[in-house]
Amino acid sequence: SSAQTGTQISMGSGVVVLADRGRVVAFTNAHVVAPGGKEAPLVEVKPFGTRTYYPARIARVLYDEKQNLDLAVLVFTDRWQRGIAAQLPPADEPIGPGRAVIAVGNPRGDEFLTDHGRIKEGDSRGSMRGIIHDALTEHGSSGGGLFDLRGRLLGINTWLVAERYGVAAEIHSLLHAFQ
């Protein structure tokens, strides 16, 4: 996704979590579409494998540094209905250290960067459960997915720790934040 606030353009990644008859809902990070807390007046998304940018509406922004919340929900229409929603693991499935993961992102506008790694530890500061992993994530990968080897979405990559480890907000914690 890309967002424009005045003359500033912000780019990041996102994950489709719902696709139904051309209506698409995607998660990204709040700092991608609302840098500094100011929502971008123009947000566009470019689904993987397409050359088309679709205008998107920011449906919700959850940002609370103390609670480790950094999420934005985008809604857009894909008239070709190509969107495929990510599958989720069961909410009670443990996500622990040593588990193999794949980080997916779109740094610097590159089409598709993936890297494998392992979960190092969990981080439960605030109300958001985080997943610390060593799969390569770069600036611009914010909002991209962290998947298990079965292709199920475990979390949304949010930030880097010590420029070495990625931190993803655990997906079920994110969904719970909306309730």
Whether the Cβ atoms of residue 136 and residue 116 lie closer than 8 Å to each other = no
Which is catalytic among the residues 2, 13, 142, 173? 142
Q: Is 30 helix (H, G, I), strand (E, B) or coil?
A: helix
Q: What beta strand segments (E) does the chain contain? A: 2-5, 8-11, 15-20, 23-28, 42-45, 54-64, 69-77, 100-105, 113-123, 130-133, 145-148, 153-161, 165-170
Whether the Cβ atoms of residue 72 and residue 58 lie closer than 8 Å to each other = yes
Q: Is 66 helix (H, G, I), strand (E, B) or coil?
A: helix
Q: In the structure encoding, which two tokens stand for residue 10, read together?
A: 């912000």
Whether the Cβ atoms of residue 166 and residue 103 lie closer than 8 Å to each other = yes
Q: Is 148 a catalytic residue?
A: no
Placement of tokens 């890309």 in the chain: 2
Which is catalytic among the residues 1, 70, 133, 172? 70
Integer Cα distance of 138 and 43 in angstroms: 21
Which is catalytic among the residues 31, 78, 141, 173? 31
Active site residues: 31, 70, 142
